[in-house]
Amino acid sequence: MQITVHGTPVTLDTKELIVGKEAPAARITKLDGSQNVIGMIAPNSQLIIAIPSLKTEVCSLGAKKFNELVKNLKKLDTIMVTTDDIEFVKEFAKNECIDSAEIVIDTNRQFGKKFGVLITEGKLKDRLARAVFVIDREGLLAYKEIVSEIVDEVNYDACLAAIEKIVNEKKSGHTHENWMSV
């Protein structure tokens, strides 16, 4: 897959995720240095936001906007993933009062590779494309958007609509056959 960076085409790691199919699990680094896994099945639905760099205006504004948009959403874990250095991210989270989302680091680029958003060439090589992924509690990908031009913002309305749908969805669960009846 290709996106553009200021109009110049760049290639992404070609892992194609399909809405309705199982989301991958990826190891990330939390700001305290510990490792965690995101994606896949979880107690809450997940909104995973891939951020190229919080050092840029569009990324910084997007992170702050998502932080506000998800403030009142229950049963949703919001995770912002970046490749920025951990000290800068800690300072950013503190200064910008990011409190409705967890910012994590894709230290080994495992998230970028597994979710197909790792930029493989150009001046942003080894950074993440701007993208959002919504994963339901069963670990299924409910929504994805990989922004075609890195300086553009995501479609917040479509993303929020997908979140509302899965957070409010009542799953019927597995039903058993009535094999004991006559």
pLDDT in tens, 50-62: 999 999 999 999 9
Domains of the chain with CATH codes:
2-168 (3.40.30.10)
Catalytic residue, chosen from 5, 38, 54, 59, is: 59
Average pLDDT, the chain: 91
Residue 173: is its pLDDT beyond 90? no
Instruction: Tell me the three state secondary structure of residue 87.
Output: helix
Q: How confident is the model at residue 181 (pLDDT cuts 50, 70, 90)?
A: very low
Residue 1 makes CB contacts below 8 A (sequence gap 6+) with: 11, 12, 14, 16, 116, 146
The CA-atom distances, in angstroms, between 51 and each of 43, 64, 175 are 24, 12, 40
**Residue pair 67/49 in contact by the 8 Å Cβ criterion:** no
Distance CA 139, CA 136 (A): 5
Q: What is the pLDDT of residues 86-138, one digit of tens each?
A: 999 999 999 999 999 999 999 999 999 999 999 999 999 999 999 999 999 99
159 tagged catalytic: no
State CA 42 to chain mean position distance. Answer: 14
